[in-house]
Amino acid sequence: MATDNGRNAYVDWLRAFSLLVVILWHWAFTLITWNPANGPHANSPLGFTKGFWILTWLLQVMPLFFYIGGFVHLRSWERAQARGERLAHFVGTRLRQLAVPAALLVLTWAALGAGLGRYFDLNGETIRRTVKLIVSPLWFLAVYLMLIALLPIALWLHRRFGILVVIWLGGLAMTTDVLRFHYHLDPLAWLNMVFVWALAHQAGFFYRQVVDAPRQVDWTLLWAGLFGLVGMVFSGLYPGSMVGVPGDRFSNVAPPTFVIVCLLVFQVGVVEVLRPTMERLLVRPRWALVNSTINRFALPLFLFHSTGMALSRFITWRLGLQSADKPPPDLTWWLLRPVAVLGPLVCTLPVIFLFGRRWIRAAPPRAGPPPVAGPPVPRAAPGVEAAPAVEVAPETAVPDRPGLHSS
């Protein structure tokens, strides 16, 4: 489904939704405790509840984001290649578009941490933990930069071997888990930072084929992924949560395990099952406006959302209000989650206005007047299949744009 300006609205929505889930999760569900000896410690409410980890099967959206990223990278490169652009230039441009703002943010917080540490007489460990906590969400951008850097290899493998590359990456991810858990070669676990996330990205090269597949394939992916998750988690071999939870034996994402491959299959099935409904909604003006607005602000919002959260906590502390959480979370804490995002949001917006405007994507052009209606198209006679409507390949109409969206 293409929008009036030629964009693929559902692809945009999936990216917007993915980033928004990550940001809101950090704002609402990060428990921050303060230790006078070494500063802030992050915790998760999932460590104090039973059964809530099942929500992470839908809310851990990084596999889906990398999958959509693979599709966008492939289509962007095909258009760039048609313009005569060299692959090295294409990759280099996208690396700079993400690496420069991320590096500037890290360097800024390193300098701020040192200055604030001296001003408030904080020890080095407290400064280190504070800065690390603020910039830690950028791990996702580091993985994304890795996938962009590997794009020449990924494209060559895709042309040469097609879907076999996805199968091989899955096999390597499973082999890595076997070496890690059965043979106790723990350092090898970090290979799955490449194998698992590259699999999600490579699978995105087949996005168009998945969209065009019969409806039955959507449900097949959903159920296959779900049964895979159930089998691996309830076997007792893997934690149920798809995010790191203190107290679990290990995390399914740091580094990723083969469970994330099952999660990817499940989530691809879910978004394809929901596609018809979402495409009907996204043509409505209000939905289209929300979709466009989130995508315009996606990169600066992601970059600065933890900065806004830190500012919100600092302001509440200076005002003498409670700025640290007291686990385990009680009923009041849960009821206040919708309100908890307001402080970080209010503090993030001025940071974007002051420092992040250059990374805000330009607003799409206003839609022109509706086309003049032509003669009615005759309906096919009973028993005769009508010719399909002609559509200008919306999947190839995702225009280049800075940051996460042109990568």
How sure is the predictor about 385, in pLDDT bands with cuts at 50, 70 and 90?
very low
The DSSP secondary structure of 134-145, one letter per residue, reads: HHGGGHHHHHHH
Q: How far apart are alpha carbons 381 and 174 in whole angstroms?
A: 53
Please classify residue 398 by burial: count the beta carbons closer than 10 Å to its beta carbon, then call 0-12 exposed, 13-18 middle and 19+ buried.
buried
| Confidence at residue 321, expressed as pLDDT on a 0 to 100 scale | 75
Whether 366 shows a pLDDT value over 70: the answer reads no
Sign of the torsion angle spanned by Cα atoms 153, 155, 159, 163: positive
Q: How far apart are alpha carbons 296 and 362 in whole angstroms?
A: 7
| Confidence at residue 298, expressed as pLDDT on a 0 to 100 scale | 86
Whether 339 shows a pLDDT value over 60: the answer reads yes
Cis amide prior to 328 (ω within 30 degrees): yes
Which of the 8 DSSP states describes residue 8? Answer: B
| Domain positions in the chain | 9-362+393-405
How sure is the predictor about 323, in pLDDT bands with cuts at 50, 70 and 90?
low
pLDDT digits (tens, 9 = 90+) for 276-302: 999 999 999 999 999 998 888 888 899
pLDDT digits (tens, 9 = 90+) for 166-210: 999 999 999 999 999 999 999 999 999 999 999 999 999 999 999
pLDDT digits (tens, 9 = 90+) for 6-20: 578 999 999 989 999
Radius of gyration of the CA atoms of the chain, in A:
23
Over residues 143-152, the mean pLDDT reads 96
Q: How far apart are alpha carbons 361 and 295 in whole angstroms?
A: 8
211-215, 231-235, 390-394: least confident range: 390-394
| Confidence at residue 365, expressed as pLDDT on a 0 to 100 scale | 61
Q: How far apart are alpha carbons 350 and 136 in whole angstroms?
A: 21
- Say what percent of the chain tops pLDDT 70: 85
| Confidence at residue 324, expressed as pLDDT on a 0 to 100 scale | 65
Count of beta carbons in the 10 Å neighbourhood of residue 189: 18
How far lies 57's CA from each of 21, 108, 115, 252, 265, in Å? 13, 35, 41, 11, 11
Q: How far apart are alpha carbons 83 and 76 in whole angstroms?
A: 11
Q: How far apart are alpha carbons 235 and 227 in whole angstroms?
A: 12
How sure is the predictor about 400, in pLDDT bands with cuts at 50, 70 and 90?
very low
pLDDT digits (tens, 9 = 90+) for 64-113: 999 999 999 999 999 999 999 999 999 999 999 999 989 999 999 999 98
The model's pTM is: 0.85
Whether 22 shows a pLDDT value over 60: the answer reads yes
23-32, 137-146, 358-367: least confident range: 358-367
Average pLDDT, the chain: 85
Assigned token pair, 327 = 């686990």
| Confidence at residue 93, expressed as pLDDT on a 0 to 100 scale | 94
Assigned token pair, 401 = 């744009």
